[in-house]
Structure 1
Amino acid sequence: MQINGKAGLSASNTDNLVHKLLRQLQEMKGGMAETAPIGIISMDNWEWPQGVALFALYSYYKETGRPEILDYMCRWFDEKLESGNIPYKNVNTVCPMLTLTYLYEEIGKESYLALCREWADYVMNELPRAGEGGFQHVVSGGLNEGQLWDDTLYMTVLFLTRAGVLLKESRYLDESVRQFLVHLKYLTDPATGLFYHGWTFDGSHHFAQALWARGNSWYTAGLVDYLDMAPLPEGVRLFLLSSLERQVAKLQEVQAEDGMWHTLLMDPSSYKETSATAAFAYGILKAVRCGYLDRSYLDTGWKAYHAVLRQIDDAGLVHGVSYGTGMGRDLQFYKDIEQCPMPYGQSMVMLMLVEGARHREEQEALA
């Protein structure tokens, strides 16, 4: 692969690699016994990993205009709608709905709009709340009463934001702002600017006080897309960006020499984790390109980008990805999570590659 120093892959190499990643994603069935109530490896299922993957596919479609990608996404939803194979609503199963808001705008299918309206109403009016109105992190198989998790902003709040734009519901947009502010209030570690995995109002503590990499990366990758979706008051926008800058400053400090990040960001004895590294690379590169972060962070993003490329085998399978991770009561819990190829590993790498291609296009336009 032709890699030019601090730049991304060439256009042809990016396209070839994304094609391999996509093929592996579509065929993924898993090589380990699943512990999640709804399987989270196969793309046949409807859960948060599939939601993350669909959003990455949509981003790639918007960049390339490839009709077969649009066909695949529509077919994925149509099969679920026609079979009635749609799961119980919760924070994680909301995630695929983000992409459906965009697909409705692409093809105008009324059943898509009806489903978006139904699920947005659930999020606003039926999803349980923890303290201060924060969305309780209800998942398949667990209510997690009184708990806030850093995953929620990506899995549910991005969809609610898009639903607010699509349905012209300003109260949905207002709610998205509240959720970002409440989650940052309770999950930010004031000493580092990183985010704890979770907080519970039942006992008022951060569980294992885990500064977990993938949980942090949901903010890094999610915020840069949230800012694309939502018209925000300037004061809110500046607050969210200051949280991002402080987080990324610490990420730059704890990044491993090879460009990766450890699954526990402050613990170099924990294994390095690819999906978080890809999501950090994506978020940092996009934030710099959009002017949200200073260009001094660009090297950190490219270093992570190249580290992730080294985790992809010749067939396009992304390695070093941790399985779905519940709330740990001790730090060893995170170190013991198994690693295997996962949909979100494939898809976060796709997002990273697309963003790298945008940087390369801008460089070539200036040359």
Structure 2
Amino acid sequence: MSTARNHSLRETAGRLFAYMTEDHAGNWGLDFDQWDWVPGVGVIAIRDYYESTGRTDAMDFLVRWAEKNRGKAGGSRAVNAMAPFAVFPELHRHTSDVLYRDLALAAGEWLLREAPRTREGALEHTVTEAVQFAEQVWADTVFMAVLPLSEMAKSYGNRAFAEEALRQLLLHYRLLRDEESAVLFHGWNCAAGNHMSAARWTRANAWIAIATPMILDNIRGLVPIPPEATDGYRRLIDGLLAFAQPSGLWPTVLDRSGFYPETSGSAGIAAGILRGVRSGWLEPSMRVHADRTIDAVTAAVDERGEVRGVSGGTPVLESVEAYNAIPQYPTLYGQGLALMLVSEALRGEGE
């Protein structure tokens, strides 16, 4: 990586981080002071930014955030509320405060033993809002719950957590994969036996594209990694590349080239490619496929550090067309996926 490019990426990462950590109280998409998936993605990204750059202000923010919000950690038992726990093992290491360990392990035990499951045994996608998605499997769950479970497995040498993380990862691939294209549908209804609207939603694929190599890294050494996991991941990436647009971004639904380009999903896919290469799950030659996306995503970051072109929170919708009507606005998950991409780029070969 050239010195100029490295400097540009570091400057972009700094703007992303600065915008994320401004006071956005009361703004659902940007408010860190809630306990849910949105700030969860934000803190995971800031943890990765810290690991990539060593920026002490990033870790200082995480410690302040956790001290302020950890009292909310036990208040909601839902898949989407698991995401923030992913950074608790790192906070435990950094602060030596055993409360972070205890809260993380309690969340892991809930996921292992109590979280609702579908008839196939997959984690049912549960949310903090007063709405239920009975017998539904969503791609989002892999990032929001399976990734945190794998972080706890790695940090505390918990084989049972690792086995369940692997089982859930494989189940989600099996239930969500479109065998023809190898990409993933947003959701699966176990009771109806169908993919509902059958949307090949880009951000759904991004959640799994970035989470898979992270999960496999975390559980490697605790459980054998079967070929089904690595081959499925490689097939997914190959399938996603078939839908890539010349701009470096993917449309908000992969196979609808006329739908608007979506920055957060594109960033997550490219970050997954870079992470897969760095961890050895993908060939080094695959890195080139992320380069145009890095340029396109950084171009979508304005002078304040706000990421443009991010679609709003999206449940499994009633039709594919409905995904193109989702409004776009800044969010912590949009900022976070962009920051994860830039952080991975900085950690890549030739840094």
TM-score, normalised to structure 1, is: 0.89
Residues in 2 aligned to 1:53 and 1:302: alpha-carbon distance in whole angstroms: 23
Secondary structure of the equivalent of 2:261?
A: coil
Q: 1:43 Cα deviation (Å)?
A: 1.5
Question: Share of identical aligned residues, percent?
Answer: 27
CA 149–60 in structure 1, closer or farther in 2 if over 3 Å, else same: same
What's the CA shift for 1:301? 0.8
Number of matched residues?
A: 350
Counterpart in the other structure of 1:341:
330
* Alignment counterpart, residue 159 of structure 2, candidates 142, 163, 170: 170
- How far is the alpha carbon of 1:85 from its aligned partner? 7.2
* SS of residue in 2 equivalent to 1:192: coil
Gaps in structure 2 of 5+ consecutive residues: none
* Deviation by residue 1:25-60 (Cα, 9 ceiling, x = unmatched): 112639xx97xxxx3431222211211111111111
Distance 1:126 1:19, change over 3 A: same
2:10 maps to which residue?
A: 15
Structure 1 residue 95: deviation in Å?
A: 0.2
Out of 112, 116, 126, the residue aligned to residue 100 of structure 2 is 112
Give me the whole-angstrom Cα distance separating, in 2, the residues matched to 1:231 and 1:322: 34
Give the gaps of 5 or more residues in structure 1: none
| RMSD of aligned alpha carbons | 2.1
Q: Distance in 1 between matches of 2:9 and 2:105?
A: 36
Q: Which moved more, 1:270-279 or 1:124-133?
A: 124-133
Match of 1:263 among 252, 259, 262: 252
Aligned partner of 1:363 in structure 2 is 350
The one-letter amino acid paired with 2:21 is Q
Written as runs of structure 1 = structure 2, the 5 A alignment for 1:40-119 is: 40-81=29-70, 84=72, 87-119=75-107
Counting only pairs closer than 5 Å after superposition, residues 230-269 of structure 1 correspond to structure 2 as: 230-231=219-220, 236-269=225-258
Distance 1:44 1:235, change over 3 A: closer
Map of 1:353 onto structure 2: 342
Partners of 1:9 and 1:224 lie apart in 2 by: 29
In 2, are the aligned partners of 1:186 and 1:199 still within 8 Å (CA)?
yes
- State the one-letter code of the partner of 1:245: R
Q: Is the 8 A contact 1:46 1:86 kept in 2?
A: no
Aligned runs of 1:215-364 on 2, under 5 Å?
215-231=204-220, 236-359=225-348, 362-363=349-350
Q: 1:233 Cα shift?
A: 8.0
How many Å separate the matches in 1 of 2:146 and 2:122? Answer: 11
Asked whether the equivalents of residues 40 and 47 of structure 1 are also in contact (C-alpha less than 8 Å), the reply is: no
Equivalent residue, structure 2, for 1:136: 124
Deviation of 1:203 after TM superposition, in Å, equals: 1.1
TM-score, reference length from structure 2: 0.93
SS in 1 for 2:181: coil
What secondary structure sits across from 1:280 in the alignment? helix
Per-residue deviation at 1:299? 2.5
For residues 202 and 196 of structure 2, the distance between their equivalents in structure 1, rounded to whole angstroms, comes to: 16
The one of 146, 153, 157 equivalent to 2:142 is 153
Provide the rounded CA distance (Å) in 1 between the counterparts of 2:291 and 2:70.
40
